[in-house]
Structure 1
Amino acid sequence: MTEGHDVQALSDVDIHVYEAVASQTVESGGAGLDGLVHACGLTEEEVRHSLTKLVEHGYVVPQGDGYGLGPHTFEVEY
């Protein structure tokens, strides 16, 4: 993630998926794809597309078989 990266530049879908990753990471230490699809109410393709974007920007990192949070300078309420 680049310095000064603006979270406001993310789409509503990306923020929704990020919040689901954050919630599941706090609860269980990581977020799996199936759980994210269920939590977000989106198709698997939509969640995968969003995760790709979030990983590219460093907001989310691959973690084992799932995903975790990358370094961030903002808080998420869920």
Structure 2
Amino acid sequence: MSEERQADVQALSGTDTRVYEAVAVLAVDDRTATVEEIVHATDLPEEAVRHSLGTLAEAGWLRADGAAYAVGRHDWSVER
């Protein structure tokens, strides 16, 4: 995915946005998010979460960290 498209949050589907936000909430506390935590936080089916995680990781929005996920590289910060 190009840098331009990655920077455009409007390119994300509603499911992808919900999954990304669930991971980002934990990132504020320097935590990674497991699939189970994301399913619980989003109330989405596990299959949809796993598909979205793959899409987001492939695009660079998220990165796999063992069995969990973290926010990928970006040039903005989250204020506490």
Give the TM-score, by structure 2 length: 0.83
- Alpha-carbon deviation of 1:65? 1.7
Matched to 1:3, the amino acid is: E
3-state SS in 1 of match to 2:70: strand
* d(CA) in 2 for partners of 1:75, 1:52: 23
What residue is the counterpart of 1:20 in the other structure?
22
* d(CA) in 2 for partners of 1:45, 1:27: 26
Task: Count residues in correspondence.
Answer: 77
* d(CA) in 1 for partners of 2:18, 2:43: 10
- Alpha-carbon deviation of 1:11? 0.3
3-state SS in 2 of match to 1:72: coil
Any residues of structure 2 matched to 1:31-70 within 5 Å, and which? 31-70=33-72
- Alpha-carbon deviation of 1:74? 5.4
Gaps of 5+ in 1: none
- Alpha-carbon deviation of 1:27? 3.0
Gaps of 5+ in 2: none
3-state SS in 2 of match to 1:20: helix
3-state SS in 2 of match to 1:23: helix
Map Cα deviations across residues 19-63 of structure 1 (whole Å, 9 max, x no partner).
000012223510011000000000000100110110010000001
* d(CA) in 2 for partners of 1:30, 1:56: 17
Identity %, equivalent residues: 47
The root-mean-square deviation of aligned C-alpha atoms, in Å, is: 2.0
